[in-house]
């Protein structure tokens, strides 16, 4: 009889300390379980290391030097899967964080009689920008594999309802991707760094610089801010970094700041007036999203401005913690920013303080760990 309740987590990436959500989840689970993250080795990282108390082993692929063409990527995937099944045996639970990894999870469950968890970060079959062929393949895969899962974990209530409705399954749980609860003193970091007055209003976009997340809209809106006391800070990294640098050079109301460690984020985020989470509604996945940046703003007691997508808008309206951009265009955004009633700002902060403990990871953690306890 196997006494140790163990969890094997598959990551089809080299995995590093920036994967804050996964690390946070398995730091919580490590209090009662023995989680191991199995990842790819890109040759630039250690084969074995411990990140915040969680063990990470990276598999060396003989095929890793092959070009990143589709057929070669399939070959690499199969090598990763075969080595996982061969070297990491008899774990009680196999945890998959993307749809493709469920293929390995299915065979692992079959071979070792493990419980299979699909820890979905989004609705992969409904992502923006998917080609018709890839979407067709993903839908077939999900339909075949979702019924093999013992548990599905998602990040918003609408995504939970979608999985339950589409696939007629019941074992779906919503766990918010929120930060740990923290008490802190409000910072004036950005005000000091950019020599802004106390009367100036600072707006923040933090996170990855990807298309369709409102960055282009912010460029246009802040071109209309040159004669106002409204300033915008971008903090993060990603494909649009060079374009943001270009915009910052041409607009003295736009600043750019490097990404900062997750455990120091509050020192920076808490120094702004409002945080943006204005993802463009280009897919069902965006419509139902609840980005982690939304919860980070709330935890660091910053009111938010969000786009009018279902779950974000409902969260903001139900809790009265910010504003919803009803029409997704630069004129509407500029008007919203310029007409904010700062006499009600303290009321927003009071409302945020009321809910920040409830949405914190400290609160979500218990629900998350209970799911695995029942499985094990």
- Greatest Cα-to-Cα distance within the chain, rounded to the nearest angstrom: 72
Segment 57-106, tens digit of pLDDT: 999 999 888 888 888 889 999 999 999 999 999 899 999 999 999 999 99
- Report residue 318 as tokens: 């139900």
Q: Where are the domains of the chain?
A: 6-178+361-375, 189-359
- Any idea what the Cα angle at residue 315 is, between residues 309 and 316, rounded to 5°? 90
**Residues 115, 155: Cα–Cα separation, whole Å:** 20
Please list, in sequence order, all residues whose beta carbon lies within 8 angstroms of the beta carbon of residue 332, skipping any fewer than 6 positions away: 325, 326
- Any idea what the Cα angle at residue 59 is, between residues 107 and 42, rounded to 5°? 130
Segment 289-336, tens digit of pLDDT: 999 999 999 999 999 999 999 999 999 999 999 999 999 999 999 999
Q: What is the pLDDT of residue 3?
A: 38
Domain 189-359 in the same topology as domain 6-178+361-375: yes
**Residues 229, 245: Cα–Cα separation, whole Å:** 21
- CA atoms within a 13 Å half-sphere pointing along the CA-CB vector of 175: 27
Asked if 57 and 31 count as a contact pair (C-beta separation under 8 A), the reply is no
Asked if 6 and 35 count as a contact pair (C-beta separation under 8 A), the reply is yes
- Beta partners for 256? 234
Q: Which helix (H) or strand (E) holds 72?
A: helix 70-87
DSSP state string for 106-130: HHHHHHH--EEEEE-SS-GGG-TT-
Per-residue confidence at 1, pLDDT binned at 50, 70, 90? very low
> Top-level CATH class of 189-359?
alpha beta
Q: What is the pLDDT of residue 4?
A: 44
Q: State whether the Cα torsion 319-320-323-325 is positive or negative.
A: positive
Q: 6-178+361-375: what fold?
A: Rossmann fold (3.40.50)
Higher pLDDT, residue 372 or 376: 372
pLDDT above 80 (res 197): yes
- Report residue 277 as tokens: 């989470």
DSSP state string for 4-28: S-EEEEE-SS---TT-HHHHHHHHH
């Amino acid at each position: 009889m196997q006494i140790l309740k163990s969890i094997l987590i598959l990551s089809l990436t080299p995995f590093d300390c920036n994967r804050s959500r996964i690390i946070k989840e398995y730091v919580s689970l490590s209090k009662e379980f023995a989680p191991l993250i199995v990842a790819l080795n890109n040759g630039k990282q250690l084969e074995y290391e411990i990140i915040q108390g969680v063990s990470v082993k990276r598999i060396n692929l003989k095929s890793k030097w092959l070009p990143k063409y589709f057929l070669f990527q399939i070959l690499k995937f199969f090598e990763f899967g075969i080595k996982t099944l061969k070297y990491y045996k008899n774990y009680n639970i196999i945890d998959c964080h993307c749809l493709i990894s469920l293929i390995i999870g299915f065979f692992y469950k079959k071979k070792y009689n493990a419980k299979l968890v699909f820890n979905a970060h989004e609705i992969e079959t409904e992502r923006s920008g998917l080609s018709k062929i890839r979407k067709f393949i993903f839908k077939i895969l999900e339909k075949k594999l979702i019924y093999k899962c013992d548990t599905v974990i998602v990040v918003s209530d609408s995504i939970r309802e979608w999985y339950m409705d589409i696939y007629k399954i019941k074992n779906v749980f919503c766990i918010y991707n929120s930060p740990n609860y923290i008490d802190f003193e409000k910072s004036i970091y950005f005000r000091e760094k950019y020599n802004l007055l106390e009367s100036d209003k600072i707006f923040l976009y933090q996170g990855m610089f990807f298309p369709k997340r409102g960055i282009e809209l912010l460029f246009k809106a802040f071109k209309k801010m040159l004669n106002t006391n409204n300033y915008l800070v971008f903090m993060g990294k990603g494909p649009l970094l060079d374009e943001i640098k270009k915009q910052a050079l041409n607009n003295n109301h736009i600043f750019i700041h490097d990404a900062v460690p997750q455990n120091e984020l509050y020192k920076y985020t808490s120094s702004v007036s409002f945080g943006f989470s204005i993802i463009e509604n280009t897919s069902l996945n965006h419509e139902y999203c609840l980005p982690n940046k939304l919860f980070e703003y709330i935890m660091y007691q910053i009111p938010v401005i969000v786009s009018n997508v279902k779950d974000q808008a409902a969260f903001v309206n139900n809790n009265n913690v910010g504003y919803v951009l009803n029409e997704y265009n630069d004129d509407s955004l500029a008007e919203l920013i310029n007409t904010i009633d700062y006499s009600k700002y303290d009321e927003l902060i009071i409302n945020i303080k009321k809910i920040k403990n409830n949405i914190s990871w400290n609160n979500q953690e218990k629900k998350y760990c209970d799911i695995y306890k029942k499985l094990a």
